[in-house]
Amino acid sequence: MKGLTARLKEKLPKGKHSIISLPYVWLLVFFVLPFIFVAKISFSEADLAIPPYMPMFEWSDNLLNIKINLGNYLWLAEDPLYWEAYANSIKMAFWSTLLCLLIGYPMAYAIAKAPKEKQAVWLLLVLLPSWTSFLIRVYAWMGLLKDSGLINGALMGIGIIDEPIQMINTNFAVYIGVVYSYLPFMVLPLYANLVKHDNSLLEAASDLGAIKAVSFFRITLPLSFNGIVAGSMLVFIPVVGEYVIPELLGGSDTIMIGKILWQEFFNNRDWPVASALAVIMIMILIIPISLFHHFQHKESR
């Protein structure tokens, strides 16, 4: 092994930089640089022009004018709607993450404990839905949840209810949609973690007389901590900014920040305010994102 690394060091230097530079330059230009523009435009003033914001730097009469407009942030701070949207998004992301964890953990556990030859098939069963269109899976729930939908129809048919229960356009529908769409993202990292566990620890515990529940809570659960964090972040972070699910399944009272950002951008054409919303969202998400990054690397090692 040492021989190889030594040889690599010998042979790589020429090629090393070219290997790094191709993906690196792409990421810098198309992923990192865009955030600088978001930050910049969040400090610009909206304008009725194309593009709909005023330039930040102007050069006239040998004077460089730099205009930094804090108005967008002040505007956001003053309107309780935006505060509510952030708080509500975080709240909904938190509860849906917890629901995914409660359903996903036993599922991942079942796959990890299944006989070796079954594991691949079971895992495929969980992942297959996430390969089909996300949009279509959310859409499927529209047909099930609406007033004249299948669930209400069935309940009325049996005679449990007389008139349809309002399910679509509620937060309840959004929770269902989110858990339904993000469940596979929870199961995958949990499975990847659980399947690596060394059974000898559990055997030792059982030899020493521990019952299954005790050894689960004292051994398996703590050992799967990295998987729990990875899976939870994989659900929590995108759900905070989710747009499609609240738009299709939520009602007018489902105020989520992704939806508000979309409306500011597409309906109000207020690019600076949309950018300011995005900057604040990134600042909220930076801690969970670095947590995810940290645990992802711990797991892959």
Partner 1 sequence: MQGQKFSFANLMFWVGIAFLYLPMLVLIVYSFNESKMVTVWAGFSAKWYGELFHDAQLMSAVGRSLEVAFYSATSAVVLAIFASVVMVRIKQFKTRTLFTSSITAPLVMPDVIIGLSMLLLFVALQQAIGWPEHRGLMTVWIAHTTFCMAYSTVVISSRLVEMDRSIEEAALDLGASQIKAFVQITLPVISPAIISAWLLSFTLSLDDVVIASFVTGPGATTLPIEVFSSVRLGVTPKINALATLIIGVVSLVAFVSWYVSKRMNDKLKATAA
Of residues 214 through 243, those in contact with partner 1 by CB under 8 A are 216, 233-234, 237-238, 240-243
The contact pattern for partner 1, residues 81-120, with x = CB under 8 A and - = no contact, is ----------------------xx-xx-xxx-x------x
**Least distance to partner 1, CB of residue 128, Å:** 6
Query: Would you state the structure tokens that stand for residue 197, as one six-digit string?
Result: 């566990």
Beta bridge partners of 58: 65
Which among 57-65, 74-82, 143-151, 155-163 is the span making contact with partner 1, rule CB under 8 A?
Answer: 143-151
C-alpha 51/C-alpha 113 separation (Å) is 56
State yes or no: residue 22 binds partner 1 (CB under 8 A).
yes
Beta bridge partners of 119: none
The contact pattern for partner 1, residues 47-86, with x = CB under 8 A and - = no contact, is ----x-----------------------------------
| Cα dihedral across residues 191, 196, 200, 201: positive or negative | negative
Which among 61-69, 74-82, 155-163, 293-301 is the span making contact with partner 1, rule CB under 8 A?
Answer: 293-301
State yes or no: residue 180 binds partner 1 (CB under 8 A).
yes
C-alpha 23/C-alpha 5 separation (Å) is 23
State yes or no: residue 137 binds partner 1 (CB under 8 A).
yes
Nearest CA to 46 out of 297, 264, 263, 219 is that of 264
Nearest CA to 145 out of 171, 129, 166 is that of 166
Amino acid symbol at 133: S
Query: Would you state the structure tokens that stand for residue 66, as one six-digit string?
Result: 């730099």
Cβ atoms of residues 188 and 127 within 8 Å: yes
C-alpha 2/C-alpha 266 separation (Å) is 57
Site for partner 1 in 247-266 (CB under 8 A): 247-248, 258, 261-262, 265-266
Among 135, 161, 204, 221, binds partner 1 (CB under 8 A): 135
State yes or no: residue 298 binds partner 1 (CB under 8 A).
no
Could you tell me which residues come within 8 angstroms of residue 289 by beta carbon, excluding any fewer than 6 positions away?
Answer: 233, 237
**Least distance to partner 1, CB of residue 264, Å:** 10
Beta bridge partners of 63: 60
State yes or no: residue 140 binds partner 1 (CB under 8 A).
yes
State yes or no: residue 295 binds partner 1 (CB under 8 A).
no
**Least distance to partner 1, CB of residue 51, Å:** 5
